[in-house]
Amino acid sequence: MDHVDGILAQWNRERPDLDVTPMGLFGRLKRLSQHLGREMEKTFAEHGLNSASFDVLATLRRSGPPYSLSPGDLLATMMITSGTLTNRIDQLEKAGLVERTHNPEDRRSFIISLTERGFAIIEAAVTAHVATQAQLSSILSADENAALNALLGKYLAGFEGSR
């Protein structure tokens, strides 16, 4: 039994007229997200990052050489406002992890690029992040991980479609 089973038992006792089965799914997803998030934040902190800064640096890194994107391209991959992105870029620029340069195709806009220091930090952080995720997912067998990933992918696609 997990913590959610106890909550469901209480609801079943107090409101036997309700089918609280979906509450179990959402409660478990929420609690897992909290547990996993805390563990991943620890990994990011070891590299002087948090999930927000990691997200920007990782997006630039996975874009491939020259590890540069316009703010619009960065924004398209993140679920944040432009003001939030500007704040993140400002902080990363102050830390020397990214730099803004004028866009050669449009002098009114900028390109955000990883600095050498930013590249080195995200290389180490993403390696540690993947190791943390492997450790966290090791609770399940390879087959269980594959099955859960497939089910969650199907569920998420129901909300996001084939975007």
What dotted CATH number matches 46-160?
A: 1.10.10.10
Going by C-alpha positions, the residue among 28, 24, 32, 29 that lies closest to residue 136 is 32
pLDDT digits (tens, 9 = 90+) for 135-150: 999 999 999 999 999 9
d(CA 68, CA 115): 10
Q: Which residues contact 60 (CB under 8 A, 6 or more apart)?
A: 67, 68, 69, 74, 98, 112, 113, 114, 118, 122
Average pLDDT estimate for 31-59: 97
Average pLDDT estimate for 154-161: 90
d(CA 12, CA 84): 42
Q: How much of the chain, in percent, has pLDDT values that exceed 70?
A: 99
First-to-final CA distance of the chain:
37
User: Which pLDDT band, with edges at 50, 70 and 90, does 162 fall under?
Assistant: low
> Which pTM value belongs to this model?
0.86
Q: Show me where the domains of the chain are located.
A: 1-36, 46-160
What local confidence, expressed as pLDDT, does residue 161 receive?
Answer: 78
Q: What would the two tokens of residue 73 be?
A: 């391209």
